[in-house]
Each structure stands twice: as C-alpha cells, then as structure tokens.
Chain A
Amino acid sequence: MNKYLFQFKIFVFYILPLFLIISCNRSKPEKREDPILKSYRLIDEQRSEEAIILLESELVNNPNSVKLRSVLASAYAHKAGIKLQKFVPLLYQIRQNLKNKTKLSELKLFTNQSISKSTLVLSNLFLKLSSIFEIYNAIPNISTLDSVYLKYAIHLLKTMPSEIPKEDLIYRGILEVILFKHLISENLIGDLKDQVSIDDSNCIIDFAKIKENFLALGKLLIEIQYDLKLTDSKQIEELVQSLKDFSESASEFSLINMDESSNNAMKQNLHQFGFGKVIQCE
C-alpha cells in the first residue's frame, strides 16, 4: 500500500507538473510569433516570398504601420538578393574615410601641362565619388529582374505613412547605393570584369557617354548622400555644383579631342581613385 502511495505522490508532485511545464514549452513558439518575427524567420529561412505574402496581408489590416512597411521593404530587398549583415561594418568604415577624406591637392596626380582646368574638376569629382564606390566590393551585383524588386523596396520606404525612422532612412540609402551600382553597371560601363590596362594606348575615355549617364545618376547620388547622412547640406550643395561643373567639363571634352598624353594622365588619375574598372574604352 505504501509503495502505491509513494508512486501516487511522485506522480502528483513531479510527473504532473513536469508534463504541464513541457506542454507549455511546446506551445511557446506559436504563441510568440507575431507577424514581424515570423517574417524575420521566413526571410532567414530564404522564404522571402512567403514573408511578402504575410506582410502584404498584414498591411491591408494595418496600413499605417511603419514597421510592417519597413520589414516588407526588406523582404522585397531580400528577394532581390540583398543581405546587409556584412555590409554594415563597411558602411561605418566609409563614414570614417569620408571624415578623413583626402584632398585632391594631397594626391600625387599624374599631371601634364596640357591638362586643362576641366580635367582637374573632373578628377575632383571622381575623387569625391570614389569613397562611395568603396561599397562596391561588399555588395552583390543584381540582375535586371532583381532591380525591379529593389526599386519597389525603395518605393515602399519612400512612401511611409508617417515620418521615416532614422534606421529606415539609412536602409533606404543603402538600397539606393545598390541600385546606383546596378544602374552604372547596366548603363554606363557595361562589363565590369575587364579592368582597363593603363598601358593600353587604344583606350579612349568616352566622356560623352559618361556625361549622359552620370547626370542621370546625379539625382540618385544626392538622395543617397542625404539618406545616409554622409554629408551635410553644404556638402550636398557642393556636390550639385560639382555635377554642374562636370557637365560643363564633359561637354568640353566631348567637343574636343584630347591628345594622347592628356588621355593617359586622365586614365592614371581615374585608376588612382579606384575607377579603373568603370572606364569604358572605345
């Protein structure tokens, strides 16, 4: 009899609570998952399409949710192949580089007496842009189809129902940088793989083409600068002015033929600023 009483007491005191606690434990994940956490889980499991469906349906019920919209934008970005985890530390480095940015006068430029003032203006512009181009190595190239998703992600972040949070502003800036790269690789230079040889005397820089595409990218670049707070308003004004100067300079170059030595000096400068891979040769 005592044996049965012992077993009964053990059951009541230990086995029963154990069963209850474990049962509670099993139901925990379902209880915890709100739509945003579930979307995170789906995105991390490479199921961004399911995350998009979930978030779209949640947004129908809650159209003013900034957070839902932001996560939906990230789901579209993920669908475009964008993963930011390794990109963020680099962004900080770029900010630091911009703080300590090199002035044109400090660089050993490949100068030539025949180089005009316009060449120096153009070099100055490339120097400013080169810091942005440091991001290139950390982000993947995206396809034309992916760029559609990326553009929609940016659109979602541009049409927030209320004031955009700072973190979303930075995120939008990063997506714009990726789009910027895509637009350049699609429209400006074509093939990024072949680096131009400095010694290739047949390589002539196509300034007319560069002008056309750079001006189109100017607006996007200014938005990036604003979103990422890489510069203050004064610096943005400077950048706008630089683009104007560039436009004038590029017009001059498209009208006149550079001599061989000027062309070579310009190529050397572009290489020095990290643009060796983005020069198109005729």
Chain B
Amino acid sequence: MRIMLILLFINLIVDSLFAENIEPLVFSKNARTFETQHSTLVTKALAHSCLTLTLVPDGLPCNPALVPLIKKPSLSAEFLLSNGLSSYEKVKSLVGGNFSQEVVDSLFSEGKILQLESNLDLNFISPLLTAQYSPMTVKGLSVIRNEANPEVDFYAIEESGFLLQGGYEVFDGFYLGLQTRFINRKFIKKRMMLVLLSTPEGRESLKPKEQKVTYIEPAMTWFIKKEWKPRISLMLVNSGTYSEKFEEMPTPVQLQGGIGISPPLRWGELELSLDYKSLTYYENELQKWHLGSLYKFGSMSLALGADSYGLSGGVFYEIDKLNSGIIYSTTRSVSENDGYYTQTVYVELGWKI
C-alpha cells in the first residue's frame, strides 16, 4: 500500500514538473467530453472517476484488473448522444473531408460555440474477458472569440475502435489486468484566426488527419480487507504504438491512480472513488483530480461526479433487456457567478442480453 502511494506521489510530482500551461480559447466547454476520452454515460456522470469502480452498469470496467469481479456475462449495445445534435452532420461532413462552403459557413459564421459527442458501443462482458467494438464515435467543438477579428478553436474527431480486457486475481485481493485498444482516428484540430479561412492555405490546414493507434495498458487493483473494501488502483495508459504522431493530439504515457471505498448500506450499494488522471493532457495538477459516487439500488443507478471541469449527475435504469440513462453536467458550481459556462445533457439508450 505504501509503495503504491509513493508511486502515485512520484507520478504527481513528475507530471507537475512537465505540466504544460496552454491558455485555452474556450472559457467554458462540455465538462464531460474530451478529445481522446471514450467513455460511457455513467462514467461521465462520475467525472471519469472510475479506476476503482467494480462494475460500470453501461459498459466495460475502466480498469481491466477489475474484470474478474464481473458477476454475470452479457452482450449489449449502447448509444450515447449529447446535446448539439444539429451540428452532427456538419462535424461529420468536415472530418470526412467534405470541405464545402455551406459546411464552413454554418460552422464558423454562425454563433460562438458548438459542441457535441455521439458514440455507439457493442459490448461483450464476462469474468474472463471483455471486448468492445465502437464502430462510430464523433466529437466536435468549435468556439469563436473576438467578433472584431475572430479567432477559432476547433476540433472534430471521428473514431472507430476495438478494445479487449482481461484480468487475473494473483493472490487474495490483488488483481492484475491488461487492456488492448485499437483505434482508427480521423481528426481536425486547429486554433487559428478566422480570416485565414479565406486563403487556400487556411482551408488546407483544416483537412482531416488520420492516425492508427494500438495501446497496451497494464493495470492493478489491491483490495484491503476492511469493512468498507478500501482499494487502490494503478493503470498505465497510452502506452502503445502510433502510425503517426501529431503534436495537436497529445496522448502521453501516464500512470493513473485511484482510491475507492464501498461503505456498507442497509439498502443498495454505494461506491465512492477518487481518481488522479489526465483527460486532456494540457491541464494543471488540480484538474487531474476527479471524484465520483455511484449508488445502485435494484435496477437503478444514481451517479454524481465533481472535478475542476464541473459537476455532473444522472440516473441510469436497466429494465429487463432495455436500459437507458440521462445525465446533466455543468461547468458552473452552485455559487459561481461567471457569465461563461456550459450545461450539457447526455442521453444513452441500450439493449442488453
């Protein structure tokens, strides 16, 4: 336990030393959508604090070491969508290489902020092995500032991927796991002055780039035999190979850590988790802490999450084979009085057998 805490602490110090300090053009953006993070509805509600979560109701565990704790095999399909749906076709069209005048006009000459996320996952879950096929994930963000001479911060990502997880209990309460991810990514990510879009070179810079990535990510979890099931997890993420690396899409290798507890309750199950992980790879130390709580009672799961990006909460139901959920996230805390904030609603619909 002490060794793990020391490792986590060393990682924190190293990250602090190399933390980049990039001023984002967005004053506020979706608190639960990030360029390189693929996550389910419940994980989003938990503020991505899920490294010690023993069971994710709508998908695979975040930590492959927890695969042996899965109780029941299942096959499911989950479709997630955020608000901003009206921009879906535009973003998909642009990242697909269709750079028509209409698409550009509608993306950059109207409004100031456009955001959306949509993904479809097919999950196979069992105590030995889990697998996920994601045929289509689309994310987009466009923010325009300074109407006198606009500067635009824009990304559009389309991904498809396959994920495999396996875990093993090495000795009593100590689990090791391995996750392999194969991702095909097409993306545009650019911050530029809008006037450059009037030049052929400016338009050329918005051509989509392609990347094929294979990640191999080891993980561990150690349960301490106490009433509250305290546990600690470590996971090495983004270790793998790239067909081509791009500066604008950084995914550095990172050691992530999490601690979790399950306070015993008379009714239902409660899991509390605190994770230390990067979601954007250009954030400060405080932004890497994420706190989540998941309460399961019968077919209902209630999730709450908080981190420096914002607050989120939602509910997820499983009724027979059908499941669905909705979460709300906001970048504004209760007493905050800032004019720039973003509220997002995500919905998910699924089928499980």
Question: What does the 1/0 interface line of A9-28 toward B look like (CB < 8 Å)?
Answer: 11001100110011011101
Contact across chains for A25 and B336 when beta carbons are under 8 A apart: yes
Most buried by A among B144, B291, B307, B335: B291
A174–B192 alpha-carbon span in the complex (Å): 17
Stretch at the interface among A84-92, A250-258, A262-270: A84-92
Check B190 for interface membership: any CB of A closer than 8 A: no
Contact across chains for B263 and A9 when beta carbons are under 8 A apart: yes
Contact across chains for B198 and A17 when beta carbons are under 8 A apart: no
Find residues 55-106 in chain A having any chain B CB closer than 8 Å to their own CB: 70-71, 73-75, 77-78, 82-86, 88-89, 91-93, 95
Contact across chains for B108 and A83 when beta carbons are under 8 A apart: no
| Shortest Cβ distance from residue A108 to the other chain B in the assembled complex, whole angstroms | 28
| Shortest Cβ distance from residue A126 to the other chain B in the assembled complex, whole angstroms | 24
Q: Point out the residues of chain B lying under 8 angstroms from A34, CB to CB.
A: 23
Contact across chains for A78 and B195 when beta carbons are under 8 A apart: no
In the complex, which of the residues A28, A84, A228, A229 contacts B149, with contact meaning CB atoms closer than 8 Å? A84
Contact across chains for B144 and A85 when beta carbons are under 8 A apart: yes
Find residues 273-294 in chain B having any chain A CB closer than 8 Å to their own CB: 274, 286-287, 289, 291, 293
A44-B112 contact given A85-B194, A171-B193, CB 8 Å threshold? yes
Check B145 for interface membership: any CB of A closer than 8 A: yes
Q: Point out the residues of chain A lying under 8 angstroms from B311, CB to CB.
A: 22
| Shortest Cβ distance from residue A143 to the other chain B in the assembled complex, whole angstroms | 17
A84-B150 contact given A17-B289, A22-B311, CB 8 Å threshold? yes
Helix, strand, loop or mixed for chain A's interface?
A: helix
Q: Point out the residues of chain A lying under 8 angstroms from B23, CB to CB.
A: 32, 34, 37
Nearest residue (CB) in A for B193 is A167
Question: What does the 1/0 interface line of B188-212 toward A look like (CB < 8 Å)?
Answer: 0000111111110001000000000
Question: What does the 1/0 interface line of B166-205 toward A look like (CB < 8 Å)?
Answer: 0000000000000000000000000011111111000100
Find residues 36-54 in chain A having any chain B CB closer than 8 Å to their own CB: 37, 39-41, 43-45, 48
| Shortest Cβ distance from residue A39 to the other chain B in the assembled complex, whole angstroms | 8
Contact across chains for B195 and A174 when beta carbons are under 8 A apart: yes
A21-B146 contact given A85-B109, A89-B105, CB 8 Å threshold? no
Check B160 for interface membership: any CB of A closer than 8 A: no
In the complex, which of the residues A14, A44, A71 contacts B293, with contact meaning CB atoms closer than 8 Å? A14
Top 4 nearest A-B pairs by Cβ distance?
A: A78-B148, A74-B149, A167-B193, A91-B198
Q: Hey, which bits of chain A sit against chain B, CB under 8 A?
A: 6, 9-10, 13-14, 17-18, 21-22, 24-26, 28-29, 32, 34, 37, 39-41, 43-45, 48, 70-71, 73-75, 77-78, 82-86, 88-89, 91-93, 95, 166-167, 170-171, 174, 228-229
Q: Hey, which bits of chain B sit against chain A, CB under 8 A?
A: 23-25, 27, 101, 104-105, 108-109, 112, 144-151, 192-199, 203, 228, 261, 263, 272, 274, 286-287, 289, 291, 293, 306-311, 331, 333-336, 338-340
